[in-house]
Amino acid sequence: MVNKPTGNNRYLKELNQASIMELIRIKGKLSRKELSELTGLSRTACGNITRKLIDDGFLHETGQGESTGGRKPVMLEIRPDSYYAAGFDIGMTKLQAVVADISGRIIIEKNTEYELGISVEEAVLLADKQLREIIKERKINREKFLGCAFSVPGIVDRSTDKIVMAPNLSWNHVDLSAKAAEILKMPVYIENEAMCSAICEHWIGKCRNIGNFVCINVDSGIGAGVFINGALFRGTGGSAGEIGHLVVDENGCACGCGNNGCLETYASVRYMLQQANEKILEGYGSKYVKLGTRIEWDELVDYAQKGDSLCLGILRDSAKFLGYAAAYIINTLNPEAVVLGKCFKQYSSLVIDVLVETAMKKALPYPASKAAIMVSDYGMNSSALGAAMIPIRKVFGK
């Protein structure tokens, strides 16, 4: 984070206040009496805290609950459309913006495409333009934004929030956070894109009630976001989750990292497209694939769904290698769930059987029996959504 939150949400950093917000978020609705019982705080203390939260717009009273003898209690609920946050996912050729309210409800999504090779300043200026358009279109008060976060496909140094490297963007040792804070003029957070997807799954997705899970993103590269005991695990320097560089075949293809046979060179979107187009140039053709042409990612998936043998074979082969990675994760971290996201959602129905079968075969039986392998509901939207949740989570003490 660049700027510390100020104004209305400063006091929310206090443990008891954040705890009350989190309890109400989890339960949906609670009375002051229930909050007192759950937190151990006195009714007077709960009353003072909730009064301030209501005055500042974070909570509102919403009807009456069931009586346990005497007057029916007044229930408290998170007030939607009171505060907002923005999330930006910086891809190789597309910036995705999402605005969510404090309840986690998605207000709007906006995508803007650009040429390969966007600079840090260009990305920030585009994000500012998107946000201004959203604010004008939806008539949202900019002062009601808790902050924004950027999802980046690279390693973030947690001590400085600087991006150490983002190979797919050709960024090395850049300070996105400082530039964003200067232009957007609100609290700014920077996070790895796979970590953002994991935050999305934990906050609003399939892992809301799961403390130990790993989210694998399949895109132009492959990365993982890791949750352990309900909290993000980033490692010593913030680079945990770089599973795209697990070596799955030491005699395999050369990877940009300098090794051979990395997972990315077998299962990333970029590799799968490269493999398909090489085969087409070598003379492959079918009723779907015209000889000598180049295909794009959406076409590869579409042709596979229609039964093209080349495209389907490439997707299923890549799923086998993803299964190897899932097995490594299951053996090493013993998670309750492994969630496959981003582009994987587009073709999951064609390959999930291969992936699960491979993972269960390669993993040790005991940890494998404890792990569920799932497909994200959010697909390509997960990183932007997770980024939007980062400023919101601060209100709840996360």
Q: What b/e readout covers 31-52, taking b as 16+ CB neighbours within 10 angstroms?
A: bbebbbebbebeeeebeebbee
pLDDT band at 348 (very low <50, low <70, confident <90, very high): very high
Domain boundary among 78, 98, 127: 78
Q: What pLDDT is attached to residue 70?
A: 61
One domain for residues 89 and 48: no
From CA 190, how far away is CA 210, in angstroms rounded? 24
Whether the pLDDT of residue 156 is over 80: the answer is: yes
DSSP state of 147: E
From CA 223, how far away is CA 89, in angstroms rounded? 14
Complete DSSP assignment for 203-254 = HHSTTTT-SSEEEEEESSSEEEEEEETTEE---SSS-TT-GGG-BS-TTS-B
Whether the pLDDT of residue 2 is over 50: the answer is: no
- Per-residue pLDDT, averaged over 379-385, amounts to 94
One domain for residues 250 and 365: yes
pTM: 0.89
Query: In terms of residue numbers, what domain contains 175?
Result: 84-203+382-395
One domain for residues 67 and 102: no
Structurally, the chain folds into a number of domains equal to: 3
Q: Is residue 27 part of a domain?
A: yes
One domain for residues 217 and 366: yes
One domain for residues 198 and 238: no
One domain for residues 165 and 240: no
Which CATH number covers residue 354? 3.30.420.40
- Per-residue pLDDT, averaged over 354-364, amounts to 97
One domain for residues 129 and 44: no
Helix (H) / strand (E) containing 10: none
Q: Virtual CA dihedral for 141, 146, 147, 150, nearest 10 degrees?
A: -110
Residues 226-277 have pLDDT tens digits of 999 999 999 988 889 999 999 988 888 888 888 899 999 999 999 999 999 9
- Angle (CA) 320-300-307 rounded to 5° is 75
Between 310 and 14, residue with greater pLDDT: 310
Residues 33-71 have pLDDT tens digits of 999 999 888 888 889 899 999 999 999 998 776 656 567
Amino acid identity for residue 36 in this structure:
S
Q: Is residue 274 part of a domain?
A: yes
One domain for residues 275 and 360: yes
Tell me the percentage of the chain whose pLDDT exceeds 90.
78
Between 252 and 302, residue with greater pLDDT: 302
Q: Is residue 1 part of a domain?
A: no
Question: CB–CB of 286/304 below 8 Å?
Answer: no
Residues 90-141 have pLDDT tens digits of 998 999 999 999 998 999 999 999 999 999 999 999 999 999 999 999 999 9
